[in-house]
Structure 1
């Protein structure tokens, strides 16, 4: 499960800085730093056959209160809450990495990233609820680079997969069924 991620306007990570600036030029409020559920953050969606950044709130509302922050990639196509979004409202969540904590006490917080990359992009879905746009992060079974810390991980997209994720439903299903890249961890 991905319950927190990080987003900084770091001058060294030009692509992330440009996404943040695009949203800020639209006068949309976003959180910078550690992003948690119900925060508004930049999300990439397709408009007019190109990716644009938009401020979207994290979490699909639940009927009994609270929010869904993640959707299991293995079952998203089957569940009413996520099915239509997977078909036509896929998005990409830019980040500078995500956090997970050990389950043993004392809990230790780790940040996960792609090796030799400043940006980490996660597969997501979005939908509108009572006039407010919301997103969730898709998850997969953890690979060997994270499984000792947590059994789930975000569906991390490599750069060449981003167009496939956004542009093709079948391509998105193929990504959800493929193994995800190995990550590196560091103490947060």
Structure 2
């Protein structure tokens, strides 16, 4: 969990348009919108040069066994796992999306989860540099009641008021990692 998410652009989604409009032309050509898969490059929000700005990143850290990518990190253990602990300390980011997908097993029914009154949701993420490439993972947490019957994990969704603190305030970031029970409720739709 979370294995795919959605990043739709639309004139109605001014927040997503703002993020995409702040990418340079060369960066914009590399990024993807629509249904996002692991290893796709998308705009991610981060602190760079002391300002909050979007930056294109590839979804997934290279797997330590050499094949594939790791796309998620458990919020409960990320701070103590070797692969993620350095990023928890200083490389936190926010992954914007217009929803995320999950499959109900064994039927393999695909659902889209999104916020009920907000067109954009913000997922807590971590990033690292691999050579000249920036890569990110999405933090997951225990699912709240809105995911009941579909999956036991969900992305760590941030409220707009939490975005800056997640990226720039170590103490508040640790509190957000620990306070996974107070996450927004979601709407579930067949995809």
With the shorter chain as reference, the TM-score category is over 0.9
Distance 2:10 2:103 in 1: 24
Verify the 8 A CA contact 1:42 1:55 in the aligned structure 2: yes
1:61 match: 62
Tell me whether 1:27 sits opposite 2:22 in the alignment: no
What's 1:7 paired with? Answer: 7
1:117-139 CA distances to partner (integer Å, 9 max, x unpaired)?
00010000000113211000000
Give the aligned partner of residue 136 of structure 2. Answer: 135
- For residues 171-186 of structure 1, the aligned pairs below 5 Å read 171-178=172-179, 179=181, 180-186=183-189
Moved runs in structure 1, 4+ residues, more than 6 A? none
Which ranges in structure 2 are unaligned for 5 or more consecutive residues?
Answer: none
Question: Which runs of 5 or more structure 1 residues have no equivalent in the other structure?
Answer: none
**Which runs of structure 2 are paired with 1:62-141 in the superposition (5 Å)?**
62-64=63-65, 65-105=67-107, 107-141=108-142
Inter-partner Cα distance in structure 2 for 1:59 and 1:53: 17
Cα shift at 1:9: 1.1
Corresponding residue pairs, total: 186
SS at match of 1:77: helix
Cα distance in 2 between the residues matched to 1:122 and 1:144: 18
Which structure is higher in helix share? 2
2:157 is aligned to 156
- Superposed CA deviations along residues 133-179 of structure 1, whole A, max 9, x for unmatched, are 10000000001101311110000000001011011112111111112
1:65-100 deviation per Cα after TM superposition (whole angstroms, max 9, x unaligned): 111100000000000100000100000001011000
TM-score by length of 1: 0.95
Any conservation in 2 of the 1:8–1:17 contact (CA below 8 Å)? no
The range that moved more, 92-101 or 13-22, is 13-22
SS in 1 for 2:78: coil
